[in-house]
Amino acid sequence: NAGVTQTPKFRVLKTGQSMTLLCAQDMNHEYMYWYRQDPGMGLRLIHYSVGEGTTAKGEVPDGYNVSRLKKQNFLLGLESAAPSQTSVYFCASRGIGAGLSFGPGTRLTVT
């Protein structure tokens, strides 16, 4: 099993550009999450999903959109990137009542 994978691993964007981060899991987990982590900080929840076709806002949802069209995939979109969105983005998934399995992260720089 690959676990949780994230694509891409690194990306540099110019202000105003858009992009989509892809998260995939092969563990048949119901719940999926997107977090961002700024240097020296903890993780902040952006959006999450409790099942295929559902999404919900977390702590810092502004400037991001998500979709969960398939159970195994959770996409995070940046419509118009801003320097404040420079961060490391982590995807995670879990089964009901279980711990989170994390992906390796995507390092995004917005110039």
Partner 1 sequence: SQQGEEDPQALSIQEGENATMNCSYKTSINNLQWYRQNSGRGLVHLILIRSNEREKHSGRLRVTLDTSKKSSSLLITASRAADTASYFCATDAYNNNDMRFGAGTRLTVKP
Positions that interact with partner 1 (CB under 8 A): 31, 33, 35, 41-45, 48, 50, 56, 58-59, 90, 92, 94, 97-105
Minimum CB–partner distance for residue 59 and partner 1 (Å): 7
Minimum CB–partner distance for residue 102 and partner 1 (Å): 4
Minimum CB–partner distance for residue 16 and partner 1 (Å): 28
Closer residue to partner 1 in complex, CB, 31/64: 31
Closer residue to partner 1 in complex, CB, 33/64: 33
Minimum CB–partner distance for residue 28 and partner 1 (Å): 17
**Which amino acid is located at 82 in the chain?**
A
C-beta separation of 93 from 4 below 8 A = yes
| Radius of gyration (C-alpha) of the chain in whole angstroms | 13
Burial degree of 79 (CB within 10 A; 0-12, 13-18, 19+):
exposed
Closer residue to partner 1 in complex, CB, 15/26: 26
User: In Å, how far are 30, 76, 94 from 98, measured between CA atoms?
Assistant: 11, 23, 6
- Other CB atoms within a 10 A radius of the CB of residue 86 amount to 17
